[in-house]
Amino acid sequence: MRFIDEANIMVVSGKGGHGCVSFRREKFIPKGGPDGGDGGKGGDVIFRTVDNLLTLYDLRLKRRYEAKNGGYGMGRQRTGAKAADLVVDVPVGTLFYEIGEEGESHLAADLKELGQTFVAARGGRGGKGNTHFKSSTMRAPRFAQPGEEGEEKRFRLELKILADVGLLGLPNAGKSTFISAVSMAKPKIASYPFTTITPNLGVVEGDRGDRFVIADIPGLVEGAHEGVGLGHRFLRHVERTRVLLHILSAEDVSEEAPWAGFDLINAELAAYNPELAKKKQIPVINKIDLLEPEALEAMRQRAREDGREILFMSAKYGDGVEDVVKTLWEAVIHGREEDKPHVDDTVEHEESSDV
C-alpha cells in the first residue's frame, strides 16, 4: 500500500573559516614574514538512505538542518579545523525537489537505493591566510581572504510509503480510533459511515526504535468489487500490504451470524482478486466496551466453537490493544523476512552528484 508522505525542509551548509592575518614573531626575528594560516572548510549537509526508516515523520518535526562552520586560520600557518559534515538519514525512495525563490521546484535527487547519498548543500571553502599574498612588492600583507559563505536551500521531500499493515473493516468499525491509539497519528474521527475519505497513516514504534506503518483507508461496503462506494480505490491499495488487520465492531455482531461482517468483506476481496483472500489477516472485534461481561464471554466462546482465532479490544479505552499490536509485530516481521531480497554486499552505490 503506497501513499505520498511529504516534508518541507531548509538546509544550510557551513561557512568557510576566515584566513588569518599573522606575522612571524620570534626573539631573534623581530620582523618575520606573514604566517597566517587558511580557514577550514564548512560542513556539507548530506542525506543518506537507511533501511530502518519508513516515513518522513522525523523530518516533519525538525525542518531546519544546519552544518557547522569551518574554523578560522591561525598563526604559524596553521589551518583552521574542517567542520564535520551533517549527515541526515532518510528512507529509501525519498525524492528531493529543490524549491526556487519564486516557489518553482525541480527534482534534485531520487534516492532509490540503500546507502545512497545526496549532498544537498556544500560547505563554503576556507579563506586564504595572509601568507598567500606575500610578493616582491608586498612584504607584509595585512589582509587575508574571508571564508566562503555556505549554501542555503529549500527542499520538498516526497516519499511513496509502503504500508506494512492495511486496515479492513466496515464503515465506522473504529479503524481510525485504533490508529490514533497506537501511533502519533491524529485522524479525524466522527460517528458516521465513511468518516475516512482519505488515507490515515500511523507509525507504530517498538521498544528498540523499530517501526511499522499502518494505514486506514476508506471503508468497504457490499458491492465494492464492482466499484460501489469507494471500492476500487480501496481494493487497489489493499493488494500491496504485508498483513491485513480486519476490524469488526461489536455492534455489528449478531447472535445468528456473528461473523457476517468479516465474511462480507472477505467476499469482496475474493471477488476483486482471489489472491487477496489468501493474504495474512488478523480478525479483531472492536468496541468491546459496549458489551456486558457475560455477552463478551459468550462471544469469545462462540469464536472458539467456530474455530476462529479472533482478538478482542476496545480501541477507545485501550483494552486488548497491546495484544493486537504484539500480534501485528509478529506478522510484520515475518512478512518483511519473506519480502527481503538477496543483497550482494559487493554492490557499491554511486553518490549523487550535486544538482
Domain locations along the chain: 2-160, 163-339
Which CATH code fits 163-339?
Answer: 3.40.50.300
**Cα(326)–Cα(340) distance, integer angstroms:** 21
Fold match, 2-160 / 163-339: no
Cell readout for 313 is: 479490544
Q: What is the pLDDT of residue 344?
A: 44
Distances (CA, A) of 282 to 152, 182, 207, 233: 48, 16, 22, 22
pLDDT at residue 290 in the model: 95
pLDDT at 340: 62
| Residues 14, 123: Cα–Cα separation, whole Å | 5
Question: Running along the chain, 355 residues long, what does each successive block of 10 average in pLDDT?
Answer: 74 97 81 91 96 83 95 95 97 92 93 93 97 91 96 92 80 86 57 43 77 70 41 53 91 91 85 80 96 95 95 96 94 80 42 40
Q: Please state the φ and ψ torsions of residue 290, each to the nearest 5 degrees.
A: -85, -5
**Per-residue model confidence (pLDDT) at position 347:** 37
Model pLDDT, residue 228: 40
Instruction: Provide the CB-side half-sphere exposure for 137 (13 A, CA).
Output: 0
536551500: which residue's cell?
Answer: 153
Q: Which fold has domain 2-160?
A: Spo0b-associated Gtp-binding Protein; Chain: A, (2.70.210)
**Residue 152: φ, ψ to 5°:** -125, 120
Q: What is the pTM of this model?
A: 0.60
pLDDT at res. 81: 96
Report the pLDDT value the prediction gives residue 351, as an integer from 0 to 100: 43
Residue 53: predicted pLDDT: 82
Assigned C-alpha cell, 40: 577550514
